[in-house]
Amino acid sequence: MNVIEANNLKFSYDGKNDAIKGVSFSICSGKYYSIIGHNGSGKSTLAKLLIGLLKPSKDSLKAFGLEYNSKNIKEIRRKVGIVFQNPDNQFIGSTVKDDIAFGLENRCVPQKDMDKIIEEYSKKVDMFDYLDKQPEKLSGGQKQRVAIAGVLAMHPEVIIFDEATAMLDPKGKREISELIKKMRIDNPNLTLISITHDVEEAFNSDEIIVMNEGEIYMSGSPKEILSKSDELEKIHLGVPFLYSLANELNKLGIKVDDYSSLESLVNSICQ
Amino acid sequence: MPINFKDVSFTYSYKTPFENVALNDINATILDKSFTCIVGKTGCGKSTLIQQLNGLLLPTKGEVIVDEFVVSSNRKRRTKKLANLRKKVGIVFQFSENQLFEETVLDDVAFGPTNFKVSKEEARKIAKECLLKVGIKEEYFEKSPFELSGGEKRRVAIAGILALSPSIMVLDEPTAGLDPEGTKEMMELLKKMNESGTTVIVVTHDMNLVLTYATNVIVMSDSRIVKEATPDELFLDNDEKYSLETPYIAKVVQELDKKGIKLDTKVIKDVKSLASEIARKRKNK
């Protein structure tokens, strides 16, 4: 089932230049998508359209069959959650606990359930020990984990990560990707859309959409995209490390055919 | 001039019920003209450490010595005028693009020098030079800084610090949020500044960058410094990992080592040098 459908979706900030130049795609329920592209390629604009912070033109974008208009936006936001890049812009509560509770309070979740939910999700993001801490006592990565807990606690059907791990340290990134895996096992219908320019991270997803200059440059499974790594280089996106090493070795006359994993690459070098 | 940390401790909200130790007995030297990376997981005290460098935060105990300046909470020891230290040590904070405020790019960069009794004309001249240095073209000078892309804004912010001609540049995660191309441009810019004699201190999580660009690494953990080393000592010759991410290059070196192919780690800095070292090894075999 398609949860989100874009049909010739356009958007312009100034009415002259299109930041999104008529893209069409569909997001399927239960899949994990990565949208990659360099700075200024239109990925964040797309995220803001998907959550209804920017208004798409009529009939060009639908979520759960609903048009993005003032009548439906509440319903759409109930189903689509977003985690932004900068944790300072989304920390609302005076403590970690208040911050996670904020969304729940808006939905009138009873107090006794709320404590249980807060405990569960703060544990999931490894922030349980910090529940009474104020935001200024937390580092950027810790704040981001709280933001993620707040969104997860709302049980959305789609979660958009707008470069949400860009500020986390490697351990934090790993924890979040582990958490994503766990979430997907817990709830196979959960749809994830991760906006990132971390190519290595994107290769964990089911499908990659590559954006360039406001258009979809290409899309496909990580394997398909990997086989077109030279295309990624062309549009100034980083290529996976193993590919670039294989490429350099080939230039020096060492043929490396299989660079799908570190092991296979090392094996071909040793041959 | 090297930077010396002597028994430096720092506690947020000191002597209140909200005490929070961020630095614990730090003793370290940052070498003159080095490209030093400070690494460690989130919350380990990296950002607190760099704020001691120009006295934005004063150590709760101990002192930081930068050239003739002493940063200390002891009034008798502390250098009276820290403004001159702040000219010497330029700090570019995380997401520095949020610090821009003037109407044009040029005015934003010229703002710093005018605070140090430089005439407006002179300041604009310096600003132009610095903007060109960071790769911002002339046609951008009269634009509003808010019209620029994230990567460009960050370069303008760096130009603003450069305009004070600091001899030490400190940057807190300068590549966070930049795309791979922007990351490379940023690091090459810092490398160029370092080669022209500026001490560059970078806080980062990206170990691949550390291996390629740093001359020295300081590893922090739980408010302490746990290791000072060169990148190849840290990643290629050492089994202790300090729970740092292993750079891709180091992973390849280790895997080949297991297969009996020993590479000369001294010459490996990036993908290119790794590939040519592998090629050299294969030829000799």
In this structure, what token pair is assigned to residue A165?
Answer: 């791990």
Residue A12 pLDDT > 80: yes
Q: Does residue B124 have a pLDDT over 70?
A: yes
Q: Would you list the domain boundaries of chain B? A: 3-246, 247-285
Q: Percentage of chain A with pLDDT > 70?
A: 99
Domain A2-222+231-238 CATH class label: alpha beta
pLDDT value at residue B239: 62
* Cβ neighbours of B250 in A, within 8 Å: none
Q: What is the pLDDT of residue A23?
A: 94
> Residue A249's pLDDT is what?
92
Confidence of residue B150 (pLDDT cuts 50, 70, 90): confident
Interfacial residues of A (vs B; Cβ cutoff 8 Å):
37-40, 85-86, 137-142, 163, 166-172, 197, 199, 236-238, 241-242, 244-245, 248-249, 251-254, 262-263, 265-266, 269-270
Q: Which residues of A touch B181 (CB under 8 A)?
A: 38, 236-238
Provide mean pLDDT across the span B172-195.
88
- The share of chain B scoring above pLDDT 90, in percent, equals 58
CB contact B58 to A (< 8 Å): no
Residue A27 pLDDT grade (very low, low, confident, very high; cuts 50, 70, 90)? very high
Q: Helix, strand, or coil here: B222?
A: coil
> Which helix (H) or strand (E) segment is B161 a member of?
helix B150-162
A155 Cβ contact partners less than 8 Å away, ≥ 6 residues apart: none
3-state secondary structure A200-235: HHHCCCCEEEEEECCEEEEEECHHHHHCCHHHHHHC
Residues B163 and B156 sit within 8 Å (Cβ to Cβ): no
Write the DSSP symbol of residue B173.
S
> Can you tell me the distance from the alpha carbon of A59 to that of A42, in angstroms, rounded to the nearest whole number?
20
- Are A229 and A63 spatial neighbours (Cβ–Cβ below 8 Å)? no
The CATH number corresponding to B3-246 among 1.10.4080.10, 3.40.50.300, 3.90.79.10, 1.10.287.70 equals 3.40.50.300
Cα–Cα distance for residue pair B52/B27, rounded to 1 Å:
13
Q: Give the Cβ contact number of residue A56 at 10 Å.
A: 21
B282–A contact, CB cutoff 8 A: yes
Partner-chain contact A38 B259, CB within 8 Å: no
State mean pLDDT over B155-163: 92
Residue numbers in B near A265 (CB within 8 A): 252
Average confidence (pLDDT) over B51-57: 92
pLDDT at residue B237 greater than cutoff 80: no
The backbone torsions φ and ψ at residue B171, rounded to the nearest 5 degrees and listed phi first, read -130, 125
Chain B residue numbers with beta carbons less than 8 Å from the beta carbon of A13 are none
Task: Tell me the average pLDDT across B211-235.
Answer: 93
Q: Average pLDDT in the B108-129 region?
A: 92
If pLDDT is split at 50, 70 and 90, which confidence band does B240 have? low
Q: Which helix (H) or strand (E) holds B172?
A: strand B168-172
B150 in reach of chain A (CB within 8 A): yes
Nearest to A4 by CA among A212, A147, A192, A184: A192
- State the average pLDDT over residues A162-175: 77
Q: Answer yes or no: is pLDDT of A79 > 80.
A: yes
Q: Which of B136, B117, B137, B113 is closest to B126 using CA atoms?
A: B113
- Identify which has the larger pLDDT, B182 or B120: B120
Tell me the backbone φ, ψ of residue B204, rounded to 5 degrees: -150, 160
Is some CB atom of chain A closer than 8 A to the CB atom of B135?
A: no
DSSP code for B244:
P
Helix (H, G, I), strand (E, B), or coil: what is residue B236? coil
Give a three-class secondary structure readout of B82-135: CHHHHHHEEEECCCHHHHCCCCCHHHHHHHHHHCCCCCHHHHHHHHHHHHHHCC
The CA distance from A237 to the nearest CA of chain B, in Å, is: 6
Residue A260, pLDDT above cutoff 80? no
- The stretch B262-268 carries a mean pLDDT of 87
pLDDT at residue B66 in the model? 93
- The SS3 call for residue B282 is helix
What does the alpha-carbon distance between residue B206 and residue A62 come to, in Å, rounded to a whole number? 38
> Which of A135-144, B131-140, B227-236 has the weakest average pLDDT?
A135-144
**DSSP string of B5-70, one letter each residue:** EEEEEEEETTTSTT-EEEEEEEEEEE-TT-EEEEE--TTSSHHHHHHTTTTSS--SEEEEEETTEE
- Cβ within 8 Å, pair B149-A171: no
Label residue B241 by pLDDT band (50, 70, 90). low
- The confidence score (pLDDT) of residue B233 equals 87
Which chain A residue has its CA at the smallest distance from B183's CA?
Answer: A238
Least confident of A226-230, B50-54, B137-141, B249-253: A226-230
Q: Which residues of A touch B251 (CB under 8 A)?
A: 262
A29-33, A244-248, B106-110: the lowest-pLDDT one: A244-248
For residues B204 and B190, is the Cβ–Cβ distance under 8 A? no
In chain B, which residues have their Cβ closer than 8 Å to the Cβ of A238? 179-181, 183
Q: What is the mean pLDDT of residues B95-113?
A: 89
Q: Quick one: pLDDT band at residue A262, thresholds 50, 70, 90?
A: confident
CA distance A87 to chain B (A): 12
A239 contacts: CB under 8 Å, gap ≥ 6:
A199, A229, A230, A232, A233, A247
The per-residue pLDDT of chain B, averaged, comes to: 90
Confidence of residue B277 (pLDDT cuts 50, 70, 90): very high
Closest CA of chain B from A72, distance in Å: 32
Closest chain A residue to the Cα of B277, Cα to Cα: A249
Chain A residues with beta carbon closer than 8 angstroms to that of B180: 38, 197, 199, 236-238
Closest CA to B91 of B168, B189, B153: B168
pLDDT band at A219 (very low <50, low <70, confident <90, very high): very high
CB–CB of B207 and A170 under 8 A? yes
Token code pair at residue A239? 């290529």
pLDDT for A239: 80
Q: Which residues of B touch A140 (CB under 8 A)?
A: 42, 94
A56 contacts A9 by C-beta, under 8 angstroms: yes
Does position B71 have pLDDT exceeding 90, yes or no? yes
B149: nearest CB among A40, A172, A236? A40
Helices (H), B196-228: 207-213
Q: How far is CA B253 from CA A9, B39, B213, B235, B258, in A?
A: 47, 21, 18, 10, 9
Residue A124 has what pLDDT? 83
Q: Domain locations in chain A?
A: 2-222+231-238, 240-271
| Average pLDDT over chain A, rounded to an integer | 87
pLDDT of residue B90: 93
Does the pLDDT at position B16 exceed 80?
Answer: yes
Q: How far is CA B71 from CA A57, A142, B34, in A?
A: 57, 29, 21
Q: How far apart are CA B52 and CA B48, in angstroms?
A: 7
Quick one: pLDDT at residue B164? 92
Report how far Cα A222 is from the mean position of its chain's Cα atoms.
15
Q: Which chain B residue has its CA at the smallest distance from A88's CA? A: B95
| Stronger pLDDT, A159 or B238, i.e. the higher one | A159
Element (H, E) at B274: helix B271-284
Q: According to the model, what pLDDT value does residue A269 have? A: 86
